[in-house]
């Protein structure tokens, strides 16, 4: 059985990629197999996990559900397009600084969904971030650091020089730790 082939020039991360592929291939398949952009991950391939999220004309889409032929004359952005030269995008930097990625498999889709959110709303609430990311499944985290990273990146993008609290980085101190550290300092004050 032969498959009808299509040749298109796709605009991906600001660069043109002329690729030939079977007309029934998804954007996910073409990005990974024809363009060599493997940052976009295969997940469920059913549109349920968000792992394959990319931006098409600035809108977050599930590349496993979109045919590549639908993207002719449209702008596609993948996780590889987030960096500016050697400088990480504020989202990437916040995720790295906070340890918001565990195994990292879902991270490209989460980053792209978050970028679309921040381009639409530069000052989202925690609830709005959780709603935007509700289609991105992560098996490793409790999403807390992911949400905090998006909040921090949003602040950086707004030009604010702020950092999350120590609790965001290290978690809450164990019960009684604060009391023992204050009592030990009081003991030293008596010396």
Number of domains in the chain: 2
Q: Binning pLDDT at 50, 70 and 90, where does residue 178 land? A: low
pLDDT in tens, 97-118: 999 998 999 999 999 999 999 9
Domain boundary among 50, 81, 112: 81
Q: Is the dihedral of CA 83, 126, 59, 143 positive or negative?
A: positive
40 and 7, same structural domain? Answer: yes
**Mean pLDDT lowest for which of 8-17, 73-82, 138-147?**
138-147
**Mean pLDDT lowest for which of 15-29, 53-67, 170-184?**
170-184
137 and 100, same structural domain? Answer: yes
90 and 51, same structural domain? Answer: no
- Tell me what pLDDT residue 182 has: 45
5 and 91, same structural domain? Answer: no
pLDDT surpasses 80 at 187: no
Domain boundary among 54, 81, 108: 81
By C-alpha distance, which of 182, 129, 183 is closest to 155?
A: 129
**Average pLDDT across the chain, whole number:** 91
109 and 24, same structural domain? Answer: no
181 and 93, same structural domain? Answer: yes
Domain boundary among 33, 54, 81: 81
pLDDT surpasses 90 at 159: yes
pLDDT surpasses 70 at 1: no
- Between 178 and 11, name the one with better pLDDT: 11
- Tell me what pLDDT residue 171 has: 77
177 and 95, same structural domain? Answer: yes
190 and 100, same structural domain? Answer: yes
pLDDT surpasses 70 at 173: yes
183 and 91, same structural domain? Answer: yes
115 and 61, same structural domain? Answer: no
CATH code for the domain in which residue 61 is found:
3.10.20.30
CATH code for the domain in which residue 134 is found:
1.10.150.120
110 and 62, same structural domain? Answer: no
- Tell me what pLDDT residue 181 has: 46
- Bridge partner residues of 19 (DSSP): 8
Q: Binning pLDDT at 50, 70 and 90, where does residue 75 land? A: very high
pLDDT surpasses 60 at 184: no
Report long-range pairs for 111-115 (Cβ below 8 Å, ≥24 apart).
Answer: 111/79, 111/82, 112/53, 112/54, 112/55, 112/60, 112/77, 112/78, 112/79, 113/50, 113/53, 113/60, 114/150, 114/153, 115/55, 115/77, 115/82, 115/89, 115/91
91 and 179, same structural domain? Answer: yes
């Amino acid at each position: 059985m032969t498959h009808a082939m299509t040749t298109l020039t796709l605009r991906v991360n600001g660069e043109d990629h002329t690729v030939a592929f079977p007309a029934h291939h998804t954007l996910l398949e073409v990005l990974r197999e024809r363009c060599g952009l493997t940052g976009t991950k295969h997940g469920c391939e059913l549109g349920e996990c968000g792992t394959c999220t990319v931006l098409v004309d600035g809108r977050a889409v599930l590349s496993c559900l979109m045919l590549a032929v639908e993207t002719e004359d449209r702008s596609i952005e993948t996780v590889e397009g987030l960096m500016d030269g050697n400088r990480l995008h504020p989202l990437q930097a916040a995720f790295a600084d906070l340890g918001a990625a565990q195994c990292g498999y879902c991270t490209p889709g989460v980053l792209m969904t978050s970028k679309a959110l921040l381009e639409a709303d530069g000052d989202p609430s925690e609830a709005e971030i959780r709603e935007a990311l509700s289609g991105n499944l992560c098996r490793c985290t409790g999403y807390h650091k992911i949400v905090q990273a998006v909040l921090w990146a949003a602040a950086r993008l707004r030009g604010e020089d702020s950092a999350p609290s120590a609790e965001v980085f290290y978690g809450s101190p164990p019960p009684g730790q604060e009391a023992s550290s204050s009592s030990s300092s009081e003991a030293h004050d008596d010396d």
